[in-house]
Structure 1
């Protein structure tokens, strides 16, 4: 995007930036205004509230189990992000720095796995977890562990490919110099590769985190009332509001914004690492 803007005249750059901000900002602005408006006014199509009230933000915590859903989402998505980042850097280091038979096949398989629609694996995974739980006598469906394993399965190939792309850009002379100095594989990983790979690790972790945070399909099937994630809580809340009088639009909008805040904060905190991690592979 930056290279494209550099080719455009200054007025066109400003106009394009304003248009993009409008496309992104207008829906968010409407959701916020609806969250501080009355349900009747939102149902009538009013955009600007006559009286601003933040009561919806107080009521959602008692109307729906939002706090429990947020805790489940943070726990599962955070664990998946950490596990994907840790496993990805180790796997990518082996794939980049070591030549062995089947290496190219593994790299191609990582890309191929991204083309498999997740919906096709919903029923097989459910049957697999149910069968294992019945065999060993330990329930898996309805627990956070089932979500963790599912998201790890989908997130690890993409995270590994991100780290492969990033580690290819790191100078190999550093690893060779450390090897000549007598450093072992673990010392090289912990003292050289990982400290230099923070941008790539952050990108891999964030993408894995978003996979678990935004998912509704798998979470709605593999969780119960106590282990529902925030996305499922919002879905159930929206479904339960249908068919009645005026749905609680204000509370629904407020709950949606509250669930979006952790992701926004994550991007703001790690913005510098995300930009470096996404562009460093192409620049180097």
Structure 2
């Protein structure tokens, strides 16, 4: 009984410490975003001396945040949509058809997650530059180059995860649909996809978050007109000053789309991740 009680106390302290690691930075971000700049420049204060929402209005004037927001939205939506569509087709083929090299292909897809993304930065940049010189397609500094880059990271995981969902689904569902007159593609769209909706939502959320918050490749493969939010936040730090309150306010605004989207799909996301882990 003493050991059990001591273990519970230790676990409570551990969970409290881990919770503080998450809560304290969020608290600092929120409180700094409602402080006047003079309070931010001085000694750190846990509680603002006066509250102001001016930083939430100034962030749109200090830097072109609206343009950065639209750039991120275009790139993220396109990359997520393309990744989900391609992953559905590839995962369905891997789970329903037997062909030489299927297992090898699955292992290769999974092995791409073993390498850090920075290893691909220089090769991708050189490939994009060579393509631009050869056939004239602008990939560096454009939406297309960033979308293709994000596909290379989100697509392998999406294929692997959806393969587990499709493989666990009984083939009798599709066979019954095809007996009723649907073709293979019709059975996929009208029977398989509705059943696999939790897994598809989980994959879409993963792709969205990965693309929305990516910094490394966006800092190299974009220019001023295509700069995304994750890079645009650095514009609040100039050579002479750093607008910390506006930077924190912009961070809150940037986080809202992901937070709101998660609230809408959290039930499907949790069930999809749990089912994918088991299968």
Same fold, TM-score > 0.5, yes or no: yes
In the alignment, what sits opposite 2:3? none
In the alignment, what sits opposite 1:112? 111
Greater shift after overlay, 13-22 or 44-53? 13-22
Structure-2 separation of matches of 1:62 and 1:141: 28
Deviations 1:230-277 (A, max 9, x none): 001013433x2xx525x2111111111111111111111111110111
Structure-1 separation of matches of 2:244 and 2:148: 35
Q: How is 1:43-58 mapped onto 2 (pairs within 5 angstroms)?
A: 43=41, 44-58=43-57
In the alignment, what sits opposite 1:98? 97
Greater shift after overlay, 22-31 or 201-210? 22-31
Return the offset for 1:166: 1.7
Q: State how many pairs are aligned.
A: 272
Structure-2 separation of matches of 1:193 and 1:10: 45
Contact residue 84 and residue 208 of structure 1 kept, 8 A: yes
Contact residue 58 and residue 246 of structure 2 kept, 8 A: yes
For 1:244, which of 232, 240, 245 is the aligned residue? 240
In the alignment, what sits opposite 1:29? 27
Contact residue 88 and residue 156 of structure 1 kept, 8 A: yes
Q: TM-score, normalised by structure 2?
A: 0.90
Rate the CA distance shift 1:194–1:37 in 2: closer, same or farther, 3 A.
same
Runs of 5+ consecutive residues of structure 2 not aligned to the other structure: 1-6
In the alignment, what sits opposite 1:275? 270
In the alignment, what sits opposite 1:258? 253
Structure-2 separation of matches of 1:282 and 1:35: 38
Structure-2 separation of matches of 1:74 and 1:26: 29
Deviations 1:167-199 (A, max 9, x none): 222223212322444431111111111111111
Rate the CA distance shift 1:132–1:275 in 2: closer, same or farther, 3 A.
same
Structure-1 separation of matches of 2:215 and 2:85: 25
Structure-2 separation of matches of 1:281 and 1:230: 31
SS for the counterpart of 2:224 is coil
Q: TM-score, normalised by structure 1?
A: 0.88
Structure-2 separation of matches of 1:173 and 1:137: 49
Q: Quote the RMSD (CA, aligned, Å).
A: 2.2
Return the offset for 1:20: 5.2
Structure-1 separation of matches of 2:267 and 2:9: 27
Deviations 1:48-97 (A, max 9, x none): 00110000111010001111111111110111111111111111111011
Rate the CA distance shift 1:225–1:282 in 2: closer, same or farther, 3 A.
closer
SS for the counterpart of 1:114 is helix
Contact residue 236 and residue 244 of structure 2 kept, 8 A: no
In the alignment, what sits opposite 1:176? 175
Return the offset for 1:116: 2.1
Q: How is 1:1-80 mapped onto 2 (pairs within 5 angstroms)?
A: 21-43=19-41, 44-80=43-79
SS for the counterpart of 1:60 is helix
Rate the CA distance shift 1:10–1:181 in 2: closer, same or farther, 3 A.
farther
